[in-house]
Amino acid sequence: MDTNRYRLETRTPPLADFLRLREITGLTVYSEEAAQAGLKGTVAAATIYHDDDVVGIGRLVGDGGCVFVICDIAVDPAHQGNGLGKAIMASLMDYVNRNLKSKAYVSIIADIPANRLYEQFGFEETAPESVGMAYRVS
């Protein structure tokens, strides 16, 4: 990441930017009410700015002790290819390695080809011992 063009702050992204980045990157679009409640559950975050514009986000959510999920990794398509996803992951993993208790479980649901990014930070596929599953409230 070019620190002359971008700056990373370890803070929860603003609600409007969170919703915008999720939408333009093809992630699930949440209602404002749901997103506002969800952002309160942030344990750690990485928000990347280009000037005053939020162009990248990522969060760690969890129960504070045992189970955590890295989620919401999103980089504005106009800024992809500049190492921002890697910078977000490095920031979140720095938090994980410095602050989480021994044996804490950190998971991520990886869209392909983003799995290659997460592998660089030590994440491994869990199959065939386990598989990712999801339930979406309608």
Residue spans of the domains in the chain: they are 7-119
Residue pair 91/47 in contact by the 8 Å Cβ criterion? no
Q: Say what the pLDDT of residue 111 is.
A: 85
**What is d(CA 31, CA 18) in angstroms, rounded to the nearest whole number?**
11
76-105: pLDDT as tens digits: 999 999 999 999 999 999 999 999 998 999
Q: Say what the pLDDT of residue 127 is.
A: 86
| From the candidate CATH numbers 3.90.650.10, 3.40.630.30, 3.20.20.80, 3.30.420.40, the one assigned to the domain spanning 7-119 | 3.40.630.30
Q: Is the pLDDT of residue 137 over 90?
A: no
Q: Say what the pLDDT of residue 136 is.
A: 83
Q: Say what the pLDDT of residue 3 is.
A: 82
What is the helix (H) or strand (E) element at residue 47, kind and residue range? strand 42-50
Q: Say what the pLDDT of residue 13 is.
A: 97
Q: Say what the pLDDT of residue 10 is.
A: 98
Kindly tell me the burial class for residue 107, based on how many C-beta atoms sit within 10 Å of its own C-beta (0-12, 13-18, 19 or more).
Answer: middle
**What is d(CA 94, CA 12) in angstroms, rounded to the nearest whole number?**
16
101-121: pLDDT as tens digits: 989 999 999 888 889 999 999
Pairing of strands 7-9, 53-62: unpaired
The residue with tokens 């990157």 is 25
20-69: pLDDT as tens digits: 999 999 999 999 999 999 999 999 999 999 999 999 999 999 999 999 99
* Complete DSSP assignment for 48-94: EEETTEEEEEEEEEE-SSSEEEEEEEEE-GGGTTSSHHHHHHHHHHH
CB atoms within 10 A of CB 70: 25
